[in-house]
């Protein structure tokens, strides 16, 4: 089969590798229709995250049809159209049963292999899915494949990030700041609006993404200092009640701290690969800061968010800006990584 394989920093290539196959009775094999490129794919691509084995199949966002199932799989059948979270999940452990599927002890991240241990990803013609019953979900009738793709990561993560910053009891009166308007940040703006947020400020250096953020209802800023000034002006100098950070770099975390008021809620979704915080425990103490972070329990959200989209469809036309065939994956990474041509979300259309 053909697959997008990691080679080195800023170097992925389409390779011919052995077909994905069943390795356990609880596995399924999915023939991939759509595979997404995610901002977290760029951490090893840019060398921010190290240790990924050369030859690892990239990607953790995919939608497709089941072509093989292990003999112990009960809830998924050959021919089912399915989507997946970015990690595998058993569905029965302490954490899965409590809605924190991202902490499943049996969970593995698609597209991460280190020292020959781990899982290949979904940017391929086929992908092996361990723990298929607890991981995969059938695409509900009426739900578009692209929406299902987003539910496996970006949309669920945006919803998760917004929910950690928002107090439902006072959401319509509060002020929120969004740091980073990539796919997840933009989807978080949409989710925050649906949760009742009315006062949203967004900051990002990419003007094309800011235009989308503005269309989604945020007041936008390209310059960080301007954003801080505007938020403080809107809150009598206090700062934002909630800040959502979707970048994963120290300067973004530092900006989030500047934006937030004492007693505010900071939701950090950006995957930070540096060992230190951009602010000290003493600074957090001095602001009575509530700091919430962690990997989104996407599989848990996949159980509830499809109904939201079916009952109140979300316009996602702004999101999928670039489409590529599998053989064009190298170009897809270059365009997505560089934010070229207004790229927000790049997808590979595989079959």
- Compute the residue count for the chain: 351
Fold topology of 157-293: Rossmann fold (3.40.50)
Q: For the segment 29-69, what is each residue's pLDDT rounded down to a tens digit?
A: 999 999 999 988 999 999 989 999 999 999 999 999 999 99
Residue 133 confidence (pLDDT): 98
Whether residue 166 contacts residue 193, with contact meaning beta carbons closer than 8 Å, is answered with no
- Decide which of 3.30.60.50, 3.40.50.300, 3.90.180.10, 3.40.630.30 is the CATH code for 2-153+297-349: 3.90.180.10
Q: How many CB atoms lie within 10 A of CB 144?
A: 13
Give 217's Cβ-side CA count (13 Å radius).
15
| Residue 251 pLDDT grade (very low, low, confident, very high; cuts 50, 70, 90) | very high
**Residue 82, strand partner residues:** 64, 138
C-alpha 326/C-alpha 311 separation (Å) is: 33
Q: For the segment 145-175, what is each residue's pLDDT rounded down to a tens digit?
A: 999 999 999 999 999 999 999 999 999 999 9
Calculate mean pLDDT across residues 98-127: 98
Q: Examine the pLDDT at 218 and tell me if it is beyond 90.
A: yes
Mean pLDDT for the chain overall: 97
Residue 172, phi then psi, degrees to nearest 5: -75, -15
Q: Examine the pLDDT at 275 and tell me if it is beyond 90.
A: no
Beta strands in the chain (DSSP E): 2-8, 11-16, 28-36, 62-69, 81-83, 112-114, 117-119, 126-129, 137-138, 175-179, 199-203, 219-221, 240-245, 260-268, 290-293, 320-325, 345-349
Q: Examine the pLDDT at 273 and tell me if it is beyond 90.
A: no
Q: Which two tokens stand for residue 200?
A: 């949203």
Q: For the segment 287-341, what is each residue's pLDDT rounded down to a tens digit?
A: 999 999 999 999 999 999 999 999 999 999 999 999 999 999 999 999 999 989 9
* Residue boundaries of the structural domains of the chain: 2-153+297-349, 157-293
Residue 351 confidence (pLDDT): 87
Residue 345 confidence (pLDDT): 96
Residue 26 confidence (pLDDT): 99
| Residue 78 pLDDT grade (very low, low, confident, very high; cuts 50, 70, 90) | very high
Q: In the chain, what percentage of residues exceed pLDDT 70? A: 100
Concatenating the DSSP letter of every residue in 227-265 gives: HHHHHHHHTTTS-EEEEEE-S-SHHHHHHHHHHEEEEEE
Residues 6 or more apart whose Cβ sits within 8 Å of residue 194: 308, 312
Whether residue 264 contacts residue 243, with contact meaning beta carbons closer than 8 Å, is answered with yes
**Residue 63, strand partner residues:** 34, 83
Which pTM was predicted? 0.94
Q: In the chain, what percentage of residues exceed pLDDT 90? A: 95
Q: Examine the pLDDT at 274 and tell me if it is beyond 90.
A: no
Q: Tell me if 2-153+297-349 shares its fold with 157-293.
A: no
């Amino acid at each position: 089969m053909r697959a997008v394989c990691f080679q080195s920093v800023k170097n992925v290539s389409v390779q011919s590798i052995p077909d994905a196959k069943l390795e356990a009775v609880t596995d399924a094999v999915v023939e991939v229709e759509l595979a997404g490129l995610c901002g977290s794919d760029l951490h090893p691509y840019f060398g921010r995250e190290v240790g990924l084995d050369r030859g690892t199949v990239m990607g953790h966002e995919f939608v497709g049809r089941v072509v093989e199932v292990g003999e112990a799989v009960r809830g998924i059948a050959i021919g089912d159209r399915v989507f997946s979270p970015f990690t595998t999940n058993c569905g029965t452990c302490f954490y899965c049963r409590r809605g924190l599927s991202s902490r499943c002890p049996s969970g593995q991240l698609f597209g991460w292999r280190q020292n020959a241990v781990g899982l290949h990803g979904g940017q391929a013609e086929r992908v092996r899915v361990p723990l298929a019953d607890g991981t995969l979900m059938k695409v509900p009738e009426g739900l578009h494949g692209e929406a299902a793709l987003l539910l496996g990561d970006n949309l669920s993560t945006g919803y998760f990030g917004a929910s950690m910053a928002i107090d439902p009891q006072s959401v319509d009166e509060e002020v929120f700041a969004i740091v980073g308007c990539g796919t997840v940040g933009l989807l978080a703006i949409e989710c925050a609006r649906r949760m009742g947020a009315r006062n949203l400020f967004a900051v990002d250096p990419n003007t094309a993404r800011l235009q989308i953020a503005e269309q989604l209802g945020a007041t936008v800023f390209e310059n960080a200092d301007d954003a801080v000034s505007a938020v403080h002006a809107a809150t009598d100098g206090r700062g934002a009640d909630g800040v959502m950070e979707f970048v994963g770099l120290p300067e973004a975390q530092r900006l989030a701290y500047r934006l937030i008021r004492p007693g505010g809620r900071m939701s950090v979704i950006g995957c930070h690969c540096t060992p230190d915080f951009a602010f000290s425990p003493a600074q957090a103490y001095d602001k009575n800061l509530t700091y919430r972070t962690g990997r989104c329990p996407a599989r848990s959200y996949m159980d509830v968010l499809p109904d939201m989209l079916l009952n109140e469809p979300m316009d996602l036309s702004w999101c999928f800006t670039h489409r590529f065939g599998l053989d064009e994956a190298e170009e897809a990474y270059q365009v997505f990584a560089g934010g070229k041509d207004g790229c927000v979300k790049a997808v590979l259309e595989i079959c």
